[in-house]
Amino acid sequence: MRTRRPRVRLSKVLAPYLLSLPAGLWLLVLFLVPLVTMLSLSLQSCNFGTGACVMTWHWAEFTQQLSLYHGQFLNSFYYAGAATLIDLVISFPIAYWIAFYGGRKKNFFLLMLLVPFFVSFVIRTVVWSFILSDNGVVLGTLKHAHLLPQNFHVLATGYAVIAGLAYNYLPFTALPLYVAIERIDRRMLDAAYDLYATRREAFTRVILPLTVPGLFAAFLLTFIPALGDYVNQQLLGGTNNTMIGTVIQNSFQNLDYAGGSTLSAMLLAIALIGIFAYARLLGSRTIEEYL
Amino acid sequence: MSAISTPVREQTGLGARQPRRRRWTRLLLPGYSWLVIAYLVFPIAVMVAYSFNRVTTGLPQVSFAWNGATLKWYQEWSGIPQLTSSFWLSVRLAVATTALATVLGTLLALALVRYRPPRFRGKTAIEQVLFLNIAAPEIVLGASLLGLFVTISLARGFLTLLLAHVAFSIAYVTITVRARMAGFDRSLEEAAHDLYANGWATFRKITLPLIMPGVLAGAMMAFAISIDDFVTSNFVSGSAVPFPVWVYGVTRIGIPPQVFVFGTAIFAVGILCAAASIVVSRRQT
């Protein structure tokens, strides 16, 4: 008996590490190492013709890229921010309704919120370019009815980009909000009503404060992906409303690995600032609950 | 308290106006919600409609205008070889990704649910990496992976796609499986152990059946993310072109109607799977 004990205990001691080893290695080599490579590439100088890069500790790349593309960064902030705000406004009432009045059909309504995800992201965006096209289903009909001037257009403007982002990322906003509202203890509301709160007071002083972490999580989970998006801009926008994602994509296509990596690193830094701010204010564990 | 006060409020505090106002607001919220749902479904309806749209020009391209319905594109669904092959490539990729990511992610989830820091050092670090993986903009992941593959001069193709897809699916699988394991009763495993089941038998007969719904949900998630991925795939695809990358590439020159046939088919299969999983979960509870 005594001789067997150490073996059993060793495998038990190692169990958590053995279980997490395969996934951990995969993430180390194909997630963390690439991020380090990206940071290193951003300090290298690359030959645009061959794509060969040499480390030159070229810190000035950051300021150069920023001075070249700050306009695209601003565009990204503006479009992603506008789309996120629209999504928050659109999805709060429906998330509230499903959480409080969904009843037995909750699953059905949640599925309806997720329904865009059943169509390929690129196809969804292509379809929006059809819908918003000058003589498409919406504008064509409105123009035909003389409700819009004939030269009115949405496609190739920033509004089309915002519309596309808002549609594509709506589920990312609605689901965290639903989770947050669903989790509210109904007895809190009963207590508020017992203390003679009106429906409006119960909403503004009980429901709204309790959903603040969820609102912030929904904001981050929508804003960060929208910030780096370039598909909507490429398919719905024009040449004068380029977002930073387009620039990154083009840099890599033109073999400017240093420039592309620099911009990606800055984008990641922006995302991290948001995440750390969330963790500081509301605790690091809580955002996971909304995923 | 509430049992007493609610009827009192209904008798005194709220006058005759209240019921009418309530009825009106009661319609407002559902009406609004159905409008949002209509907004979410509308583009999908447009996609399905365009898959039936007749093409009047000679070119195999979808036109914005509606030219009447035809079943031609369903009959000729495989009429564009590159499209069909890119679709099957995506399916193969998603199946391989799902298999790998589900196994790796489930094992990691087991470790995270069962062990805490004194026995499992680095747990918090792993959790943070998982979160960072999900929260980071996808373009950063794609760009950084391309940087890595270029640095180690690994030729881009199916292998790099698979490596990348598993890398971004693991976190989703782990979080899904872990969430479903929250109410897991460890005493069942201890009971099996007391009945002389060894570790493997316990896992196969007790643990796995219990966590199976979570594992299936994680697998579905991995499959859905993989088959729909565009941003990362576009960076690391190279010679092997998955379906979304092919569709994106063809938007500049004109979209063949078959794209919408494939889109409609993927949508139908996805909705059926989701509906089936809802029905199954309802029957279980």
Residue B119 confidence (pLDDT): 84
For residue range A239-291, list pLDDT tens digits in order: 888 999 999 999 988 888 888 999 999 999 998 898 888 878 876 566 666 76
Within chain A, strands assigned E span 44-46, 53-55
- How far apart CA A168 and CA A90 sit, in angstroms, is 13
Mapped onto helix, strand or coil, the DSSP state of residue A2 is: coil
Q: Do the Cβ atoms of A122 and B248 come within 8 Å?
A: yes
Residue among A94, A127, A252 whose CB faces B46 most closely: A127
Residue B15 has pLDDT above 70, yes or no: no
Tokens of B157: 């193709």
Beta bridge partners, B53, equal B69
pLDDT of residue A1: 47
- pLDDT of the residue at B48: 93
Q: Is B50 within 8 Å of A130 when comparing Cβ atoms?
A: yes
DSSP assignment of A111-164 equals HHHHGGGGS-HHHHHHHHHHHTSTTSHHHHHHHHTTSS-TT---TTSHHHHHHH
Q: Is the pLDDT of residue B244 over 90?
A: yes
Q: Above 80 in pLDDT, residue A156?
A: yes
- Percent of chain A scored above 90 by pLDDT? 42
The mean per-residue pLDDT over the stretch A46-61 comes to 78
Distance CA A75, CA A81 (A): 10
Q: What percent of chain B has pLDDT over 90?
A: 43
Q: What number is the average pLDDT over the span B43-53?
A: 91
In this structure, which CATH number among 1.20.120.1690, 1.10.3720.10, 1.20.1250.20, 3.30.530.20 belongs to the domain B81-255?
A: 1.10.3720.10
Residue B10 predicted with pLDDT over 50: no
Residue in this structure with the two tokens 């940087």, named with its chain if needed: B147
Coil, strand or helix at A268:
helix
pLDDT at residue A234 in the model: 92
Residues of chain A contacting B65 with CB distance shorter than 8 Å: 135
Nearest CA to A258 among B135, B234, B146?
Answer: B146
Contacts 24+ apart (CB under 8 A), B241-245: B241/B82, B241/B86, B241/B89, B242/B86, B242/B89, B242/B90, B242/B93, B242/B161, B243/A120, B243/B83, B243/B86, B243/B87, B243/B89, B243/B90, B244/A120, B244/A121, B244/A122, B244/A123, B244/B90, B245/B86
Q: Is the pLDDT of residue B172 over 70?
A: yes
Is the pLDDT assigned to residue A186 strictly greater than 70? yes
- Place A138 in a pLDDT band, splitting at 50, 70 and 90: confident
A267-A114-A133 Cα angle (round to 5)? 70
pLDDT for the residue numbered B5? 39
Residue in chain A closest to B5 (alpha carbons) equals A194
Residue A271 CB-density burial (10 A; 0-12 exposed, 13-18 middle, 19+ buried): buried
Backbone angles phi, psi at A211, to 5 degrees: -95, 5
Chain A environment of B248 (Cβ under 8 Å): 122, 231
More confident residue, A150 or B172: B172
| Consecutive H or E run containing B128 | helix B123-135
Could you tell me the two tokens for A263?
């911009």
- Nearest CB partner across the interface for A194, out of B2, B228, B259: B2
Residue partners of A171: CB distance under 8 A and separation at least 6: A113, A114, A116, A117
Residues facing residue A55 across a β-bridge: A44
pLDDT at B126 over 70: yes
Interface touch B130/A96, C-beta < 8 Å: no
Look over chain A and give the mean of its residue pLDDT values, rounded to a whole number: 87
A-chain CB neighbours of B96 within 8 Å are none
Residue B7: which pLDDT band, with cuts at 50, 70 and 90?
Answer: very low
Residue A46 phi, psi dihedral angles, 5° rounding: -115, 145
pLDDT on residue A89: 96
Rounded distance between C-alpha atoms, residue B133 and residue B127, angstroms:
10
Residue of B nearest to A22 (CA): B104
How far apart CA A32 and CA A49 sit, in angstroms, is: 28
pLDDT of residue A135: 75
Contact: A19, B111; criterion CB under 8 Å: yes
Q: Does the pLDDT of residue A238 top 70, yes or no? A: yes
Token look-up 């070229």 returns: A58
Residue ranges of domains in chain A, CATH in brackets: 60-290 (1.10.3720.10)
Nearest residue on chain A to B279, alpha-carbon basis:
A107
d(C-alpha B198, C-alpha A117), whole Å = 42
Can you read off the two tokens belonging to residue A255?
A: 């073999």
Which tokens hold the place of B149? 């593959």
Q: How far apart are CA A231 and CA A239, in angstroms?
A: 13
Amino acid identity for residue A52 in this structure:
A
User: Per-residue pLDDT averaged across B128-142, rounded?
Assistant: 90
Question: Structure tokens of B245?
Answer: 């990358």
Of B112, B131, B144, which is closest to A37 when you measure between CB atoms?
B144
pLDDT at position A5: 52
Does A38 contact B137 at a Cβ distance shorter than 8 Å?
no
Is the pLDDT at A60 greater than 50? The verdict is yes
Fill in the amino acid letter for A261: S
Nearest to A130 among B36, B64, B147 (CB): B64
Which residue type does A28 have? Answer: L
Pick the range with the lowest mean pLDDT from A33-47, A78-92, A222-236. Answer: A33-47
- Which A residues in the span 54-83 are in contact with B, Cβ-Cβ below 8 Å? none
Chain B interface includes A257 (CB < 8 A): yes
Interface contact A122, partner B, CB < 8 A:
yes
What is the phi/psi pair of residue A166, to 5°?
-60, -40
Arithmetic mean of pLDDT, B244-268? 92
Please check whether residue A72 is in contact with residue A246, taking contact to mean a CB–CB distance below 8 angstroms: yes
pLDDT at residue B2 tops 80: no
Q: Where exactly are the structural domains of chain B?
A: 81-255
CB contact under 8 A, B146 and A252: yes
Q: What is the mean pLDDT of residues B90-116?
A: 94
Does residue A61 contact residue A251 with C-beta atoms inside 8 Å?
A: no
Query: Which single residue is written with the structure tokens 């001789």?
Result: A3
Indicate the pLDDT class of residue B8, thresholds 50, 70 and 90.
Answer: very low
| Residue of B2, B50, B91, B144 to mutate for A, most A C-beta atoms under 10 A | B144
Distance from CA of A284 to the nearest CA of B (A): 9
- Assess whether pLDDT exceeds 60 at residue B135: yes
Residue A6 reports pLDDT greater than 70 = no
Among A48-52, A72-76, A251-255, B27-31, which is the least confidently predicted range?
A48-52
Above 60 in pLDDT, residue B19?
A: no
Contact B278 A220 (CB under 8 A): no
pLDDT at B33: 92
Q: pLDDT confidence of B3, banded at 50, 70, 90?
A: very low
pLDDT at B260: 93
Q: What would the DSSP string read from start to end of B200-211?
A: HHHIIIIIHHHH
Q: Considering only alpha carbons, which residue of chain B is nearest residue A35? A: B144
* ipTM associated with this complex: 0.86
Residue B22 confidence (pLDDT): 60
pLDDT value at A167 more than 70: yes
**Does the pLDDT value for residue A56 go beyond 50?**
yes
In terms of average pLDDT, the best of A129-143, A202-216, B79-93 is: B79-93
Amino acid at residue number A262 = T
A14: its two tokens = 């190692």
Token pair in block for residue B3: 């049992």
Q: What is the mean pLDDT of chain B?
A: 85
Task: Report A:220-239 residues touching B (Cβ under 8 A).
Answer: 220-221, 224-225, 227-231, 235
- Which residues in B lie closer than 8 A to residue A194 (C-beta atoms)? 1-2, 5
Q: How confident is the model at residue A219 (pLDDT cuts 50, 70, 90)?
A: very high
∠ CA B283-B101-B158, nearest 5°, is 125
Count of CB atoms situated within 10 Å of the CB of A16? 23
